[in-house]
Structures are given as C-alpha cells and as structure tokens.
Amino acid sequence: MEQLLHDGLTALGLPTEQIPALRAYAAMLAEKNKVMNLTAITDPAEVARLHFLDSAALLTLADFHGKSVIDVGTGAGFPGLPLRIIDPSIRLTLLDAQKKRIGFLREVCDALGLTDVACVHARAEEFAAEYRESFDFAVSRAVAALPVLAELCLPLVKAGGSFLAMKSVDSDEELNAAAKAVQTLGGQAQTPIDYTIPGTEIRHRLLILTKISKTPEKFPRMFAKIKKNPL
Ligand code: SAM
C-alpha cells in the first residue's frame, strides 16, 4: 500500500508526508470492517487506489486550500477524510445518516489528532435546515442519483461555491436528468472533468455544480418527497 500511495500521490503532484496517517486510517478501516459493514473494498491495493487515490484526485481538480468542505454521505470517510489528511488547511465536515459510521470516523479522527474535523450524524436534508448556504464545497460519492443528490447538497453550498459529485464516465444522462433540479436549486453545471485514478486505467468523472444563487427556502424537502418526486 505504501508504494502505491507514494507513486499515486506523486503522479498527482500531491505531497507524500501524510502517507503514515493514510496507512493508520487504512488499518483502522480494515480492523473495523471485520465487525461492521464499512466498505466492500478490502484488498489493501484496492483500498489505496479506489478509496484513497480516487479521493485524492479531487485535490488536483478544484482549489480546496483553506476552504470549508462538507462530505455528504461520507460512509467510511470518502472522499472527505483523505482530502483533509493530505491538505490540513481544509475545514472539513463529514456527514452521514448512519450513526455507526460516524462513530468510526470520530475514532479515526481522534487517533490521527484531527480535532478540528466535525463528524456529524444527520440526514443531509435535515442538516441543511440549520447549515444552509454554509460551505465553500459539498462533495459526494456513491450516495444517490444526481437529481436527488443535488437537492441534498446544493442547499448547503454558499453562493460562489460548488457541489462536486464523483460519478462514472457514463453519467451524461444523469446530468441531463438533473438539469431542472440544478437550475431550481440555484446551481449551474460546469463542464465535467474526467480523470484517471493513478496506477490504474479507471476513468471517473467529476460533475461540478456551481452555486450561482441562493436555494429557495422550500428546498431541501423531506427525503420521502425528494425520492418520490425528484425535481
Ligand atoms: N461516500 C462513501 C464512499 O464513496 O465510499 C460512502 C458511500 S455509501 C454507498 C452511501 C452513504 O450515504 C451511506 O453511508 C449512507 O448512510 C449515506 N447517506 C445516504 N443518504 C443520506 C442522507 N440523506 N443524508 C446523509 N447520509 C446519507
């Protein structure tokens, strides 16, 4: 894992000093995954590539330095926690609806001395009632289809900030299907950016929705409504 991370981070032009912290996180993930369902990816090389390097690639696609970032539906911490470990200037909030996963992330942050990372157990649509228009960036991977996800994430982003959705390269239809939602929620889709996870031939896509105006107060709706009638 160490060599893969070293080569991958170097290929991305990112610093390698935090590899010991990433390894400690990976060890805690592997250990906890024996007793609770955190990730289906267990091979250390795959964890390095598909969790850490996929997450780290985001640092080359947007300027996160000194910014507030919320990871919506972070699960075992991806992509948010690797971003914060590699760039300590990021002010990170990790949000998930599953209490056990947030409990795990608190343990990791305590063990790594990341005292400023907020680990929040909440549903995004409820958290947004208190923290709307609060973050420079929302990021999210593998949580919901874009028309639903946009309603969970865009309300949290400040005007001038962006919501970054990590998707597959086959996400054209999803982006088209979300066009009305994005506009209604005060967003504007930018040209998607495709990237390759270093050390692999895997191509992923970052969909960038910039917040150009405030989200109307009535959004986000309750999850049942979002799901039943996506915008
Ligand atoms: N982002 C991580 C990753 O890529 O490895 C985890 C993905 S996991 C498939 C989806 C996560 O989203 C779950 O942990 C789930 O609890 C969370 N989630 C789904 N809907 C949510 C919501 N409305 N608010 C907060 N978390 C949510």
Q: Ligand 1 center to residue 143 CA distance, Å?
A: 5
Residue 164's CB: how many other CB atoms inside 10 A?
A: 26
Q: What does the pLDDT average to over 66-73?
A: 98
Atom of ligand 1 nearest to the CA of 122: 25
pLDDT of residue 2: 87
- Closest residue by Cα to atom 4, ligand 1, is 141
Mean pLDDT of 185-190: 98
73-89: average pLDDT: 98
Residue 65, judged by CB atoms within 10 A of its CB (0-12, 13-18, 19+), counts as: exposed
174 touches 151 (CB < 8 A): no
Bridge partners for 121 per DSSP:
96
Assess whether pLDDT exceeds 90 at residue 223. Answer: yes
- Name which residue leads in pLDDT, 2 or 146: 146
Residue 123 CA: nearest ligand 1 atom is: 24
Q: What per-residue confidence (pLDDT) applies to 127?
A: 97
CA distance 77 to 69: 13
Residue nearest to atom 9 of ligand 1 (CA): 142
Q: Ligand 1: which atom is nearest the Cα of residue 166?
A: 4
Asked if pLDDT for residue 219 goes beyond 90, the answer is yes
Q: What is the dihedral of CA 41, 62, 156, 212, to 10 degrees?
A: -140
According to the model, what pLDDT value does residue 1 have? 87
Residue 87 has pLDDT above 90, yes or no: yes
Displacement of CA 167 from its chain's centroid (Å):
11
What average pLDDT does the segment 160-183 reach?
Answer: 96
Q: Which residues line ligand 1 (CB under 6 A)?
A: 73-76, 78, 95-98, 101, 123-125, 141-143, 152, 223
Beta 187-189 vs 157-168: how paired, if at all? unpaired
Average of per-residue pLDDT across 180-187: 97
